[in-house]
A = this chain, B = another copy of it.
Amino acid sequence: MTLSSMSFVPSDLSTAEVEASEQLYGDLAQDVRLLVDVAIRARVDADRVAAARDLVRRAERILAEDASQEPAGIHFNTEGRSWNWGNAVVGVRNAIAPPVVLRWVDDETVRSEVDLGAAYEGPPSCVHGGVSALLLDHLMGECASAAHTRLIVTGTLTLRYRKPLPLGRIHMQAQITHEDDRKVTVTAHLGCEAYGDEPAVEATGLFIVPRWAREGSVSGSLD
């Protein structure tokens, strides 16, 4: 298994068509996110669970007609728009993804806020430590790609857990702190309003620009 610029698939879709599709299937994914959440919290009896399962299976059969057998992958068009609808963190069609929406402060700093509910629990009423790792890995990878001006892969990632992070609104930030040839160092933190400036989780990551990507014919994070 190797990744290369061929991992990015060119598409004939116009940016307008991409955004219309994101709206259509993004709304579906949002409905599925609500279903995932309530399926954890539900207390109804077996008959009602059976009725809900029947509806879910009917929806699944409708969507399965002519469904692709492949994962979503990463696509781009001639207008320079790229999309990764199935991504586990930012994929607008993936109900597992919150989804995280990135805010670029500058080419070397990216921030995001996201609300994490019952589906992201680890310790009681807290965000799973591995979910914090998932979000930070992605945010840091996007940051290392310098706003998608180069393609990178994760080398090493170190996480320091300072405090338990309650479920709810969390904020995170990543910034490039060092660059050396093909190596990019990124630091990041994740926290919540109750902790103010004190991070709940701190992270340092070393990201690599693959040799095959140095010519810059493709760009973006492979996270």
Q: Is the CB of A87 within 8 A of B128?
A: yes
Residues 156 to 188 of chain A near chain B (Cβ within 8 Å): 156-161, 163-167
- Which B residues are in CB contact (< 8 Å) with A128? 87-89, 134, 137-138, 223
A114-138 at interface with B (beta carbon < 8 Å): 117-126, 128-131, 133-138
Copies of this chain in the oligomer: 2
Query: In the assembly, what is the distance between CA of A93 and CA of B158, in Å?
Result: 30
For A66, what are the chain B residues with a Cβ–Cβ distance below 8 Å?
Answer: 43-44
A125 touches B48 (CB 8 A): no
A132 to B: closest C-beta gap in Å: 9
Contact A64 B42 (CB under 8 A): yes
Select one of B96, B120, B154, B161 contacting A153, CB under 8 A: B161
Cα A118 to Cα B164 with chains together (Å)? 30
Does the CB pair A55–B55 fall under 8 Å? yes
User: Is A40 an interface residue when CB atoms closer than 8 A count as contact?
Assistant: yes
The SS class assigned to the A binding surface is mixed
Interface size (A, Cβ < 8 Å)? 97
Is A101 interfacial (CB-CB < 8 Å)? Answer: no
Q: Contact partner of A56 among B56, B93, B194, CB < 8 A? A: B56
Kindly state whether residue A31 has any CB partner on chain B within 8 Å: yes
A105 interface residue per 8 A CB criterion: no
**Contacts A35-B59, A40-B93, A73-B121 supplied; 7 other A-B pairs, CB < 8 Å:** A1-B164, A8-B124, A40-B91, A44-B62, A44-B63, A52-B63, A96-B119
Identify the A interface with B (CB < 8 A).
1-3, 7-9, 24-25, 27-29, 31-32, 34-36, 38-44, 46, 48-49, 51-53, 55-60, 62-74, 84-89, 91, 93-96, 117-126, 128-131, 133-138, 141, 153-161, 163-167, 194, 222-223
26 CB-based A-B contacts, threshold 8 Å: A1-B166, A2-B164, A24-B49, A35-B56, A35-B59, A36-B95, A38-B63, A38-B67, A41-B70, A41-B71, A48-B62, A48-B63, A55-B56, A55-B59, A56-B56, A71-B117, A87-B122, A88-B120, A94-B118, A96-B119, A126-B222, A130-B134, A130-B137, A133-B133, A155-B161, A158-B158
